[in-house]
Structure 1
Amino acid sequence: MSAIAATGCLLAGFSAPILAQNNSGLTIFSGVERPNQLGYYLDFGGNRDQRDRYRLRVPSDKMELGVKTFAISYPDYYDGKFDVDSVEVVAEGQSIPIDEVVWNKPDRVLLIYLADPIEAGKSVELVLSNVRNPRWGGTYYFEGRAAAPGDVPLPRYLGTWIVSIQ
């Protein structure tokens, strides 16, 4: 009986960290207040220097106004690579047409310009496919902003994705 219990503890101990690397999980000490932490999922495990797909989620309560542009900024120590031709925006399960995706490397920001604005109050998923994860594992803070349609679109803070790469 004790052998079965020990085996169960070992298996649970090995599987839990592997599963925790794919999504945002529980973050205790981050410097980002809990209401500002956004959820994400890494489809291929978040392994360093490997291809991955990032699913950056914005809940409906953060979408207080309509959105025409998303801006995702990242830290200067993130040396991953984005594929601007492999970005998708999904609102309430439906793909939203994109006008253009611009990767501004000097300013460390990925800009997603939508063909039509997304209405307020809808949950959104920003899908970044064919991403090359950074060479080094670690924690990377991706900050999300959104600009409403209009003459002078001022981006407003949506929250922060605290992405872990192993």
Structure 2
Amino acid sequence: MRRLLSAVAVTGFLLAGVPAITSAQGLPGLTLFSGVKSENQLSYRLDFGGQTRDWDRYRLRIPGKKLKMAVEKFVIAYPDYYDGEFDTGEIEIKVGSKTTKLAKDEVKWDKQGKVLELYPKEAIPAGKSVELQLSNTRNPDFPGTFYFNCLIQSPGDKTALTRYVGTWIISIN
């Protein structure tokens, strides 16, 4: 009888965990060993599941507490082994809790340097949460974990210094 109860308990636990695992696709999970300190890990969402060779929408989030200075330029640096593609005409910058769209002035994609540069029309005030929405993005051809680093440039920087904000650790299945 005791064995039967143990088997039922273990089976129930395993079955209860399955929906939680499948519904979490496209969201960052628990990262134990990444080399990136937990306070530097940024949140993201992949709207269409993050499957290889599929089209997706990346929602790269930056909390307001990470933006201690106003922002006039976002730089997203990604690894050289990421072979996905971005549609620069389908990138939006959303600011604050109301997710107000800002008209983007310009988006530059340096394919050789593996960098996306986003220039909002107006500087984004310090302390505002931001979502960089990369729509119509083609995921890479092979699964893996990709570290996208976020850097910012503030208005009035005389030396055009970019500052590290954090890293999105993106998993593609």
Length-normalised TM-score, structure 1:
0.92
2:92 corresponds, among 56, 70, 88, to 88
Q: Is the alpha carbon distance of 1:105 and 1:64 closer, same or farther for their aligned partners in structure 2, counting shifts above 3 Å? A: same
Q: Which whole-Å CA distance do the structure 1 matches of 2:78 and 2:67 have between them?
A: 21
CA shift, 1:15, in A, is 2.4
Structure 1: 5+ residue runs without aligned partners? Answer: none
CA shift for structure 1 position 10: 5.1
User: Residue 69 in 1 paired to residue 76 in 2?
Assistant: no
More strand by share: 1
User: What's the counterpart of residue 158 of structure 1?
Assistant: 165
Counting aligned pairs with the same residue, the percent is 51
Aligned partner of 1:31 in structure 2 is 35
CA distance in 1, matches of 2:82, 2:153: 24
1:153 to partner: Cα distance: 2.7
Amino acid at match of 1:139: T
Q: CA deviation at 1:100?
A: 0.5
What is the match of residue 103 of structure 1? Answer: 109
* Structure 2 residue 51 is the aligned partner of structure 1 residue 47: yes
Shift of 1:13: 3.8
Q: In the TM superposition, what is the alpha-carbon distance from 1:152 to its structure 2 partner?
A: 3.4
Distance in structure 1 (CA, Å) of the matches to 2:93 and 2:159: 22
Could you say what secondary structure the match of 2:122 adopts?
strand
TM-score, reference length from structure 2: 0.89
Structure 2 CA distance for aligned equivalents of residues 12 and 132 of structure 1? 33
Which range moves more in the overlay, 5-14 or 35-44? 5-14
Q: 1: CA distance between counterparts of 2:105 and 2:11?
A: 53
Instruction: List per-residue Cα deviations over 1:23-56 (Å, max 9, x = no partner).
Output: 1121111000000000000000111110000000
**In structure 1, what residue type is equivalent to 2:159?**
V
Secondary structure at the residue paired with 2:89?
Answer: helix
Aligned-pair Cα RMSD in Å: 1.8
CA distance in 2, matches of 1:108, 1:100: 17
- Structure 2 segments unaligned to the other structure (5+ residues): none
Retained in 2: the 8 A contact 1:21–1:164? no
Determine if the alignment matches structure 1 residue 139 to structure 2 residue 148: no
Worse overlay, 117-126 or 13-22? 13-22
2:123 alignment partner in structure 1? 117
> 2:36 and 2:140 mapped to 1: Cα distance?
22
Deviations 1:36-77 (A, max 9, x none): 000000000111110000000000111100001000010011
Instruction: Note if 1:19 corresponds to 2:41.
Output: no
The count of aligned residue pairs is: 166
**Residues 15-24 or 127-136, more deviating:** 15-24
Q: What code does the residue aligned with 2:168 have?
A: W
Which has the higher Rg, Structure 1 or Structure 2?
2
What SS does the corresponding residue of 2:155 show, helix, strand or coil?
coil
